[in-house]
Amino acid sequence: MGPGGRAAAGPNGSIRPMLPDLPPAPLHLDPLPYEARLEPRPREQIDLVVIHCTEVPDLAMARRFGERELYPGSRTGNSGHYYVDRDGSLHQYVAAERVANHTRGYNPRSVGIELVNTGRFPNWLDSRHQAMEEPYTEAQIVALIALLQRLRAELPGLRFIAGHEELDTTLVAASDDASLQVHRKRDPGPLFPWERVMEAIDLQRLQPGDAL
């Protein structure tokens, strides 16, 4: 305790819990086979991080989806940059200095973080299956916060954070009944602990109407 016994008090007198000094979690480098074909960019170009969930049951399946070549011209596919598994392990599929395809309209300026979570799998667009019921694990959220703090330190222009569902609000016909519409993207969904994450990091929520 410091002089006056107020060492842990914030500027407005609130007491914030002290976090132990933990070594940074290891980041496993697992580059996608087409990583080198993704467009390069300077780190300074990145001002946004987008939070996703995989909407598949495990990291192995997320990897198979990520490896699929969907764009014949560039022979690349869709993936985030970073994946956080349920046990808190961190995996880098694409370096931040490459543009990954994870959020329509926002890719050149952003990095994408994918949390492993079943989401609506396997009936993503079924109108009767739109709940996102799997909670994120404690290890996942702790690892995510550490990753966000690390990116904030490493990417000089990083300022904003958003959920994929806020940036892509497209409605599409439901797979079970074309007269109904469902959201193409719902991740990270209602169980993502925004309040806790925002308290721990120095980034602003991006409002979809914000100018670039």
Which parts of this chain interact with Zn ion (CB under 5 A)? 52, 164, 187
Rounded to the nearest whole angstrom, what is the least distance from the CB of residue 18 to Zn ion in the complex? 34
Pick the closer one to Zn ion by CB: 84 or 178. 84
Say how far apart CA 134 and CA 117 lie, in whole Å.
7
Rounded to the nearest whole angstrom, what is the least distance from the CB of residue 187 to Zn ion in the complex? 4
Pick the closer one to Zn ion by CB: 81 or 164. 164
Pick the closer one to Zn ion by CB: 14 or 58. 58
Rounded to the nearest whole angstrom, what is the least distance from the CB of residue 37 to Zn ion in the complex? 21
Pick the closer one to Zn ion by CB: 156 or 208. 208
Rounded to the nearest whole angstrom, what is the least distance from the CB of residue 33 to Zn ion in the complex? 21
Residue with tokens 């079924």: 126
Measured CA to CA in angstroms, residue 27 lies from 9, 46, 94, 133, 154 at distances of 33, 20, 12, 28, 14
DSSP-derived pairing of the beta strands 110-115 and 171-173: unpaired
Rounded to the nearest whole angstrom, what is the least distance from the CB of residue 164 to Zn ion in the complex? 3
Pick the closer one to Zn ion by CB: 9 or 131. 131
Residue with tokens 């990753």: 147
Say how far apart CA 31 and CA 155 lie, in whole Å.
19
Tokens of 204: 């602003």
Q: Are 143 and 84 in contact (CB under 8 A)?
A: yes
